[in-house]
Amino acid sequence: MSNTSNNVAGVDNTFRRKFDREEYLERARERERQEEEGRAKPKGKGPPVQRKPLKHRDYEVDLESRLGKTQVVTPVAPLSQQAGYYCSVCECVVKDSANYLDHINGKKHQRALGMSMRVERASLEQVQERFEVLKKRKDVGSFTEQDLDERILKQQQEEEERKRLRREKKKEKKEKAVEEPEIDPDVAAMMGFGGFRSSNKK
C-alpha cells in the first residue's frame, strides 16, 4: 500500500488580498486635509438677503369674480387659464379659495414678493397716531341721520335697478324662446309635418 498523504502539496492562499498599509494611511491623511479645508471655508453663498418686513395688502383679494361660472378646462391650457386660482407671482394654480388664501399669506409667496415673515415693530408714536385716526373716524358728531337716510335710499335705488335689469333679461330670453325658426312649407309637407304645434284644437 502506498502512502498518498506524503505527496500532498501546500495550501495555495495567494488569492487573498494583501493591503498596502502605507497607501491607505496616505489616503486617510488626504481625506482629513480635505475635511479641514471644507470646515475652514464657510458654505455661505454671499451676504444674506435683507427682506422687507410684512405689509398690509393694498389690493382686494378677488375670490368671487368667477364664482358660479362654467369654464372649459383642457390639460394643455396655460396655467393662467386652468381651473382654480392662479398666482402670477409664483406661477402656480391652487384649486380652491381656502388654499389660495393660505398660499398668498404663506412664506413662499411672501418671499417671492421680497418680504420676510417678520412684522415691523411699531413705535409708541405710530400707535398713538393710529388711535387718533380711528377716533376721528368714529366721532359721533360726524354721523347724522341724514347720512343714514341717504345711504338707505341709494341702496334701494341700486336694488331696483338690478331687479329691472334682471326682468329685462328674462323678457329677452322668453322672446327668443317663443320665436320659431322659419321652415319652408314645401320641406315641411315633404317630411310629413306642418309644424311642431299639437293637433288638438279646442
The pLDDT assigned to 151 comes to 87
Q: Is residue 97 part of a domain?
A: yes
| DSSP string of 123-154, one letter each residue | PHHHHHHHHHHHHHHT-STT--HHHHHHHHHH
Identify the helix (H) or strand (E) that includes residue 158: helix 145-178
In a domain, 153, yes or no: no
pTM of this prediction? Answer: 0.43
Domain count, the chain: 1
**Residue 22 placed within a domain:** no
Per-residue pLDDT tens over the stretch 19-38: 788 888 999 999 999 988 87
d(CA 64, CA 159): 20
In a domain, 51, yes or no: no
User: Does residue 101 form part of some domain?
Assistant: yes
Residue 128 lies in a domain: no
**Residue 92 falls inside a structural domain:** yes
Q: Give me the domain span that covers residue 97.
A: 79-113
Q: Do residues 85 and 98 make contact, with C-beta atoms less than 8 angstroms apart?
A: no
pLDDT computed for residue 102 by the predictor: 94
pLDDT in tens, 131-179: 999 888 876 555 667 778 888 999 999 999 999 999 999 988 888 777 6
Rounded CA-CA distance 160/162 in Å is 5
Question: 103-136: per-residue pLDDT in tens?
Answer: 999 999 999 988 888 888 889 999 999 999 988 8
Is residue 54 domain-resident? no
